Amino acid sequence: FVNKYIDNKSIKLCSILGIGAYGVVYLGRHIQSKRTVAVKLLSPESRTYKTEIQLHAHVSHHPNVLSLKKVVKEEGLIFIVMEFAAGGDLFSAITKNTHDIIGNNDKIKELFIQLLDAVNHCHSHGVSHRDLKPENILLTKDLQIKLADFGLATTRSVSADFGCGSTFYFSPECQSGLLRDNKQINGYGTQANDVWSLGVILINLVTGRNPWRQANLDDSTFAAYVEQPKGFFTTILPSISDELDNILQRIFCLDPAHRISIPELKWRIMECPTF
What whole-number percentage of the chain has pLDDT above 70? 96
Measured distance CA(195)–CA(198) in Å, rounded: 5
SS (H, E, C) 177-234: CCEECCEECCCEEHHHHHHHHHHHHHHHHHHCCCCCCCCCCCCHHHHHHHHCCCCHHH
Q: What is the DSSP letter of 57?
A: H
Ranges 80-89, 95-104, 125-134, 251-260: which has the least confidence: 95-104
pLDDT tens-digit profile of 106-148?
A: 999 999 999 999 999 999 999 999 999 999 999 999 999 999 9
Please tell me the predicted confidence (pLDDT) of residue 270. Answer: 98
Q: Is the pLDDT of residue 86 over 90?
A: yes
Confidence of residue 76 (pLDDT cuts 50, 70, 90): confident
Contact 214, 120 (CB under 8 A): no
Q: Is the pLDDT of residue 181 over 60?
A: no
Q: What domains sit in the chain, N to C, each tagged with a CATH number?
A: 5-83 (3.30.200.20), 90-271 (1.10.510.10)
Ranges 202-206, 215-219, 231-235: which has the least confidence: 215-219
Average the pLDDT over 12-27 and give the result: 89
Contact 28, 40 (CB under 8 A): no
Q: How far is CA 118 from CA 150, 195, 253, 265, in A?
A: 13, 12, 22, 13
Average the pLDDT over 88-102 and give the result: 90
Ranges 23-27, 142-146, 155-159, 197-201: which has the least confidence: 23-27
Average the pLDDT over 235-254 and give the result: 97
- State the catalytic residues: 131
Contact 78, 7 (CB under 8 A): no
Confidence of residue 177 (pLDDT cuts 50, 70, 90): low
Q: Is the pLDDT of residue 245 over 80?
A: yes
Q: Which of the given ranges, 22-31, 40-49, 105-114, 172-181, has the highest pLDDT on average?
A: 105-114
| 9 annotated as ligand-binding | no
Confidence of residue 21 (pLDDT cuts 50, 70, 90): low
- Residue at 223: amino acid letter: A
